[in-house]
Chains A and B, each alone.
Chain A
Amino acid sequence: MTTGQILPASPIEPVLSLRNLRVSYGEREILHGISFDVLRGETLVILGGSGSGKSTLLRTLVGLEKPSAGEIWIKGRDLAKTSAAEMDEIRRKIGMSFQGGALFGSMTVGENVALPLREHTRLEDSTIEIILRLKLQQVGLEGFEYYTPAQLSGGMKKRAAVARALAMDPEILFFDEPSAGLDPIIAAGIDELILELKRAFHMTIIVVTHELASAFLIADRMLLIDKGNIVALGTTEEMRSSTQPRVRQFLDRVAEPEISGELDYLQMLTAERPDAHNAAGKRG
């Protein structure tokens, strides 16, 4: 198991490499130097509690947040230093499925899925129609192209969002909390879908979640992130057998000691790395 370290040189080239990535909101640093590689065709699950920085990490990977330092390499280009035009080009190679689906309410499901194709390609309408059918079929939503997002259930919305993310045949697919807000059966369906995408298309998939059951089912490797640092990175077996206290606490679902007062809470919010210079106070 590696702990916050760069993986040893691998025969498979990484599709995504992070080197010492730091992200801040204003004065507050959220991610304190994250480095890891994502290999072609693997499913990496990023685990972490609320406020761990996992969502910020995902938003940075898809270019919604600018890193304050460090490098993000996708397709031989550093995301942190690209121009807007290059950024758009990289974005066409990635797909993102948002937590609530983020489908456009004023359009039908079909128009939602076809949107990236209409915007970025010069394909004929009839071709787009065929691709649309294919993508909807892949996510199990055949025949739903004329529904509006409001007419879909939570699970169907997520499937439609996946179809839209798949529209441009992305090389990397990102999922933000795929099972959030879904009942266990529907959530299992989404897990199945992710597994199928992996099996059928050998797609590189990065999933952010805090659902342990789903994480162990879909992951090839897992990354546990806490307070903006990588706690552990390894295969599911390595994670399961890990003896690291923070990993055990997360996997065994041990409750955090109660917050005893306002000061503790504020400290938790503003907490920095233990080794970092921190005027707010020292943590144990």
Chain B
Amino acid sequence: MEFVSQLGSSTLDGLSYLGSLASLGARAAYYTLVAPFQGKPLRLQRAVSQAMDTGVRALPILSLITFFIGLILALQAAYELRRFGAISAVATAVAVSMSRELGPLITAIVVIGRSGSAFAAEIGTMKVSEEIDALETMAISPIRFLVAPKFLAMMVMLPCLTIWANAMGILGGSLFGVAQADFTFVRYIQASIDSLLLRDITTGLVKSVMFGITITAVGCLEGLSTGAGAEQVGRSTTQAVVKSIFLVVVVDLFFTVLFFFAGN
């Protein structure tokens, strides 16, 4: 009985958290997509500088990680494919699994670590030092001022980063292809491109947009719900990372199932 009631209350907690995320997302969407046409301009300048932070500055580390992931994928695939004498299928294996799954996912995880946590820390610190309160007393919506530019930046930058990650993964795979599988570099790239269908890339990009929304919503919500005291900022940051990773995987699963049954 105890167990059932605990299960019930944690289910309710989970649902109410999802509700808060959705409400934050909806309000941010209003300020990003609707309000600019009602004479409340979006802070584009902030969105651009945010995009620099979450996007452009993530490129070096993301490139390195996805390059290695591509190489690892090639090695792992070759281990199995070698037995069937199909080592030339390495290019296909790497290209498809990068664009459909690992590109978006690894990008999301890197962005969670860099930006999701930073959102929570930035907004959490502002909450603790009464800056969020100050915005409200100045009749400036914190959602419009702080959250909406982040949403815009993430929704644009995450797909861009994902495309870059796919390319770097394929590049990583090519290192193995050239060294061990009798490909020339050009032929490896050609084989990768030939093996990819447009929908392999678009499904990955759809996912990455959803990941961007999820990461921003969780990071900002954790920041905004920071309690009093500096140590709470640390707690919010950790929570943002843990919850984002979990929710990104859930969103990933949802869309993968959806695309699977939709024949994509």
Contacts and interface: CB of A to CB of B under 8 A. Distances in A.
Interface stretch (B90-98, B133-141, B243-251): B133-141
A63 interface: yes
A94 B137 CA distance: 8
B137 A64 contact: yes
B129 A119 contact: no
A19 interface: no
SS of B interface (majority): helix
B182 interface: no
A177 to B, nearest CB: 11
A88 B139 CA distance: 5
B138 A64 contact: no
B131 interface: yes
Contact of A102 (B134, B139, B140): B134
B139 A98 contact: no
Contacts of A216: none
B130 interface: yes
Contacts of B131: 102-105
Given A100-B129, A102-B129, A119 B134 contact: no
Contacts of A94: 137
Interface string A99-126: 1101111000000000110011000000
Contacts of A164: 134, 138
Nearest to B40: A119
A192 B126 CA distance: 29
Contacts of B125: 105
B201 to A, nearest CB: 36
Contact of B130 (A63, A92, A98, A120): A98
A95 B140 CA distance: 13
A120 B141 CA distance: 12
A74 interface: no
Interface in B82-129: 125-126, 129
B137 A63 contact: yes
Interface residues of B, number: 12
A246 B189 CA distance: 83
Given A100-B129, A102-B129, A91 B134 contact: no
Interface string B132-176: 011011111000000000000000000000000000000000000
A interface, how many residues as a size bin?
20 to 34
A96 interface: yes
A102 B134 CA distance: 6
A156 to B, nearest CB: 16
Scoring B126, B130, B140 by chain A CB atoms within 10 A of each residue's CB, the highest score goes to: B130
A182 interface: no
A102 B138 contact: no
Contacts of A105: 125, 131
Contacts of A251: none
A94 B126 CA distance: 21
B140 A99 contact: no
A128 interface: no
A7 B131 CA distance: 35
A230 B138 CA distance: 28
Contact of A64 (B126, B136, B139): B136
Given A98-B133, A100-B130, 15 more contacts: A59-B133, A62-B137, A63-B136, A87-B139, A91-B137, A94-B137, A98-B130, A98-B134, A99-B130, A116-B138, A116-B139, A116-B140, A119-B138, A119-B140, A164-B138
Q: Ordered nearest first, which 5 A-B pairs have the shortest CB separation?
A: A88-B139, A102-B134, A91-B139, A102-B130, A96-B137
Interface of B: 125-126, 129-131, 133-134, 136-140
23 contacts: A63-B136, A63-B137, A88-B139, A91-B137, A91-B138, A91-B139, A92-B139, A95-B137, A100-B130, A102-B129, A102-B130, A102-B131, A102-B133, A104-B126, A104-B131, A104-B134, A105-B125, A116-B140, A119-B138, A119-B140, A164-B134, A164-B138, A168-B138
